[in-house]
Structure 1
C-alpha cells in the first residue's frame, strides 16, 4: 500500500500550506527512534514517582492515552516541571536517522508553505531534521511549548497553531502517524493524510496507535510511503 484514498472530494489542488507531524511521520516507523524516548519517559516516571518499572509503564501508557502525552499527565497529576521532563526524555541517540534526500526533494517541490506541528520540543525537532537533512525546507516548528504544554489532539492546540502562523485550515493538509490527531484537523477543513508503517519491518506501537489505517471518516488518505506520496502529488500537478 503506497496510497489509499478515502475521500476523493478532499484533495490537494487547493492546498497552499503543508503541515507535518515529526516523529514517525517524517522518518520511517521502523527506525523506532521514539522507542528510545519511550524508554526515557518510563525511567523518568519511575524515578519521579518512586515506582517499579512495571507500574511506571502502566502509568506512562495510561497518561499517554488519556492526556495526549505522558508529560501532560505527569504535569496535571503530579506537578512535574515540563522543562525537566523534556530535557530528560529527549536525551537520546539520533544516529539511527539517515539523510533522506528523496523526502527533502519531494517536500521542496510542494507549492506553498511547509510547517511542523509536533508534541515534541523544538530542540528535539532540530536534531531530527539535522539528521534527515531537509530542515531548511520548513518555515517553522510549532512545538509543545508553543502549544502551552497542551498536546495534540487538543482542539486548542490546533487553533493556536493556525492563529500563530496565520494558516487557513481549508487550504492546508495535515500529515500524521496517529489517526486520532487528525480528527480535529479534518473538522477544521484540512485535508488529512495518515502515515502508517510499510508493513515489512517490525515497529514498536500500541494497538490503538495503529487505528485508522483501514479507513476512518476523518482520514482522507493513507500512505506507507510518504516520499512517494508527496512526489506523486507534484508529478500529477506538473
Structure 2
C-alpha cells in the first residue's frame, strides 16, 4: 500500500546509507579510515580501536563526539579524513532522482557528516540540485543525531513544522526524537521491515519506490 503523505511539505533526509543503498559498501571505507584514526589517537591495536569506535558511536551518537570529549580530537581534522574518498561505489539512480523531484515543498539534508562530504556525495549522485540546504554536523555544534539538541537546531534554523515534516533515516534510533517532536518517520534500508519500534511509522527497504508510490499533496 502507498504511504499517505499528503500532509507533508518538508522532506528531511539523512545522507549516508539513506540516499544510496547500504549494499554499495561505501560506508565500509569510511569505517576503515575511522578505525585507523582511532588507532593513531589511542595507540590501541585495530580490534580494540574498532570496539572503542563502536562504543563511542553507541554512547554519543557519533564516534567523533566521543573522540572530541575523551581525546580532544579536532573535528575538522577528523572530518578531513573522508574528503578524498573514492565515490566510485555510488551510482546514479534515475528512479530516485525522479521520485525526489516529485515531492512538493522543501527538501533538506540532515546529516552527522560535514558539509564537504555531503556536497561531494550529493553531486556525485546527481541529486545536489534537488535540495534546498544541507544541515550538517557543524550546523548543530557537533551535537549529533539522535541528540535532541540537533533536532532543535534544525527546527530553529529552518522554521520547520514537525507535523508537516517527514524524516527518512537508515538509523532506527535517530527517528525516535523526530517522532517525539511529531514528525512522520520513515526507516530506510534492508533492516527496515524487521523493525518493531513504535516510533517508526513507515518502513521500506528501498527509498525510490516508496517515494514514487506515496500519496502527496496536490500542487497547482
Q: What is the match of residue 155 of structure 2?
A: 162
1:213 Cα offset (Å)? 3.3
Alignment of 1:145-184 (within 5 A): 145-184=138-177
CA distance in 2, matches of 1:55, 1:195: 30
Alignment of 1:1-238 (within 5 A): 11-197=4-190, 210=191, 213-234=194-215
- Any stretches of 5+ residues in structure 2 without a counterpart? none
Partner of 1:174, secondary structure, is strand
Measured against aligned partners, the alpha-carbon deviations of 1:118-167 in whole angstroms (never above 9, x if no partner) come to 00011111111111111101000000000101100000000101110111
Partner of 1:84, secondary structure, is helix
> Alignment RMSD, CA only?
1.9
* Distance 1:214-1:237 versus aligned 2 partners, 3 A rule: farther
CA distance in 1, matches of 2:195, 2:23: 19
> Normalising by structure 2, what TM-score?
0.94
CA distance in 2, matches of 1:112, 1:215: 30
> Normalising by structure 1, what TM-score?
0.87
CA distance in 1, matches of 2:2, 2:69: 38
Partner of 2:52, secondary structure, is helix
CA distance in 1, matches of 2:99, 2:65: 34
CA distance in 1, matches of 2:111, 2:194: 20
